[in-house]
């Protein structure tokens, strides 16, 4: 693999490229945003207050890592514990329990790329109504239990396999998510296409996912790799996931030498700071994020810890997630503000009070890069506010801090929609 291509697919590149953008921001030369570093302490205060409100003063150790598991528990219903109990009664051991959770989390995370401001899911039997990430989680769990993601010839065991995903019809996904003219969801077609592509890619890697292309076979692969140490390596998992997922993303994304590189985008801020005579100038102008793959990595780590008692090394290589909740926090609290020309362009596109841009627009790429930069700064400052002996991981900060804070400030500022302060035209495969 070309060295630049390999680098852009790595976790290291995400943070290193964002740091270049951060240096440009400090000199006041961002293309689309003004940075107010003096406002950062306001964000630190707000995020620290949310964490302390929910977990202080003695329960910081109980903050769960950011991951899909919590979304299934919306409404204080322990859905994962309940379904695991059912599986245990069927005779499942811990390894098979973990396989099934990996199956479920895999499809649920990849479907979780922003539902829009108007979609709702009404849970069967309870009649409870959920929206956004939690709604998608609950809907995907019900689809999983109804065998929507598995080929019929595999029997009645709830699982995911390549043939089941390959055959998934868009209408089945739309029905499972209760999508209608009065209950629209962004990017249903592209989400279904993504899962069909995932099915093909799973089947193309039988060495990891078995002949049937089951995501849960990742459990066997990782246990074998860990050997007697019981330590699992995030960097190994990352390489496996990138190999599997890069081919499934929409084909109109960024490419290097004709090879797609997923959630990685040209950025004027990087291009302008790169040496124009460098042979790698094109690659040096690209900011990688791989957000859904990172979200999946965070989510898949949890069952290995909770069910199998295995630990992870190199988890600090993962970054913050550059999405609209984490990024919206810094816009709503004044750390980042759009420059007039960019703001005017976004308002013209939306025809409303909030600016609107495509997911691959230069302004969105710059916003996402700055989100990574600012959360790394925030992370170091939050630690000092938590008191002696308290250490939060990045995954805990995302869960109890920035993501939750971004959602709460959005609800305060825009109670009708709870939307991000900057709107993104999504195809359902980025955010």
DSSP notation for 124-168:
TTT--EEEHHHHHHHHHHHHHHTTTTS-GGGTT-----HHHHHT-
Please tell me the distance from the alpha carbon of residue 59 to that of residue 65, in angstroms, as a whole number: 14
Q: Give the contacts of 420 (CB within 8 A, at least 6 positions apart).
A: 324, 325, 327, 328, 331, 354, 410
Nearest to 139 by CA among 148, 212, 250, 31: 148
Residue 290: what pLDDT?
95
- Pairing label, strands 231-233, 311-313: parallel
Average of per-residue pLDDT across 257-277: 85
pLDDT tens string 332-390: 999 999 999 999 999 999 999 999 999 999 999 999 999 999 999 999 999 888 877 88
What's the pLDDT score for residue 279?
A: 53
The sign of the CA dihedral 379, 380, 381, 387 is positive
* Kind plus residue range of the DSSP H or E element containing 35: strand 33-35
Task: Report d(CA 122, CA 139) in Å as an integer.
Answer: 9
The pLDDT assigned to 424 comes to 93
Distances (CA, A) of 59 to 55, 63, 237: 5, 7, 30
Say how far apart CA 272 and CA 284 lie, in whole Å.
10
Alpha helices in 210-339 (DSSP H): 218-226, 234-245, 268-273, 281-284, 291-306, 324-332
> If residue 193 lies in a helix (H) or strand (E), which one and from where to where?
helix 188-203
Q: What is the DSSP letter of 256?
A: E
Model confidence at 154, pLDDT cuts 50, 70, 90, reads low
pLDDT at 187: 87
Token reading at 233: 């390596």
Residues 179-222: tens digit of each pLDDT:
999 999 988 999 999 999 999 999 999 999 999 999 999 999 99
What does residue 333 show for φ and ψ, rounded to 5 degrees? -100, 10
Task: Provide CB contacts within 8 A for 379, sequence distance 6+.
Answer: 320, 392, 394, 397
> Residue 254 class from Cβ within 10 Å (0-12 exposed, 13-18 middle, 19+ buried)?
buried
Q: Which two tokens stand for residue 181?
A: 């003219």
List of residues 6+ apart from 172 with CB closer than 8 A: 148, 192
Averaged pLDDT for residues 228-256: 91
The pTM score is: 0.94
Q: Which runs of consecutive H residues, i.e. helices, occur in 74-131?
A: 79-89, 94-111
Distance (Å, rounded) from C-alpha 12 to C-alpha 197?
27
What does the pLDDT read at residue 278? Answer: 56
What pairing do the DSSP bridges indicate for beta strands 259-260 and 255-256?
A: antiparallel
Question: Is the pLDDT confidence value at 151 over 90?
Answer: no
What is the tens place of the pLDDT at every residue in 283-329?
889 999 999 999 999 999 999 999 999 999 999 999 999 999 999 99
- Percentage of residues of the chain with pLDDT beyond 70: 96
pLDDT band at 427 (very low <50, low <70, confident <90, very high): low
């Amino acid at each position: 693999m070309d060295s630049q291509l390999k680098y852009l697919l790595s976790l290291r590149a995400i943070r290193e490229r964002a740091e270049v953008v951060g240096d440009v921001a400090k000199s006041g030369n961002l293309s689309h945003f003004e940075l107010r570093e003096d406002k950062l302490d306001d964000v630190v205060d707000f995020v620290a207050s949310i964490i302390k409100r929910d977990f202080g003063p003695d329960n910081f150790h109980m903050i769960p890592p950011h991951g899909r598991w919590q979304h299934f528990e919306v409404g204080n219903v322990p859905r994962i514990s309940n379904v695991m109990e059912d599986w245990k009664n069927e005779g499942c051991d811990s390894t098979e329990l973990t396989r099934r959770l990996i199956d479920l989390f895999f499809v649920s995370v990849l479907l979780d790329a922003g539902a829009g401001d108007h979609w709702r899911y009404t849970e069967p039997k309870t009649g409870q109504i959920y929206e956004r990430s939690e709604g998608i989680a609950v809907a995907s769990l019900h689809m999983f239990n109804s065998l929507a993601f598995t080929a019929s010839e595999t029997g009645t065991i709830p699982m995911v396999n390549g043939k089941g995903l390959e055959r998934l019809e868009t209408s089945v996904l739309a029905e499972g998510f209760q999508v209608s003219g009065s209950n629209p969801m962004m990017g249903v077609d592209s989400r279904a296409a993504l899962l069909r592509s995932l099915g093909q890619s799973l089947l193309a890697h039988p060495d990891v996912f078995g002949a049937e292309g089951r995501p849960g076979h990742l459990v066997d692969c990782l246990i074998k790799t860990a050997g007697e140490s019981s330590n699992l390596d995030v960097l190994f998992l990352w390489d496996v996931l990138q190999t599997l997922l890069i081919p499934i993303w929409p084909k109109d994304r960024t490419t290097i030498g004709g090879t797609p590189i997923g959630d990685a985008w040209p950025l004027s801020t990087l291009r302008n700071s790169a040496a124009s005579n460098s042979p790698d100038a094109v690659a040096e102008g690209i900011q990688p994020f791989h957000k859904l793959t990172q979200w999946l990595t965070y989510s898949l780590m949890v069952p290995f810890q909770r069910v199998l008692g295995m630990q992870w090394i190199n988890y600090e290589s993962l970054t913050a997630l550059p999405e609209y909740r984490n990024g919206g926090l810094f816009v709503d609290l004044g750390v980042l503000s759009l420059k007039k020309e960019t703001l005017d362009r976004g308002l013209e596109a939306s025809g409303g009070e909030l600016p609107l841009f495509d997911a691959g627009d230069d302004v969105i790429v710059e916003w996402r890069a700055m989100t990574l930069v600012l959360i790394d700064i925030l992370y170091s400052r939050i630690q000092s506010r938590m008191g002696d002996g308290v250490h939060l991981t990045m995954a805990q900060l995302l869960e109890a801090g920035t993501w939750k804070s971004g959602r709460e400030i959005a609800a305060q500022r825009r109670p009708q929609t709870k939307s991000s302060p900057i709107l993104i035209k999504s195809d359902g495969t980025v955010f």
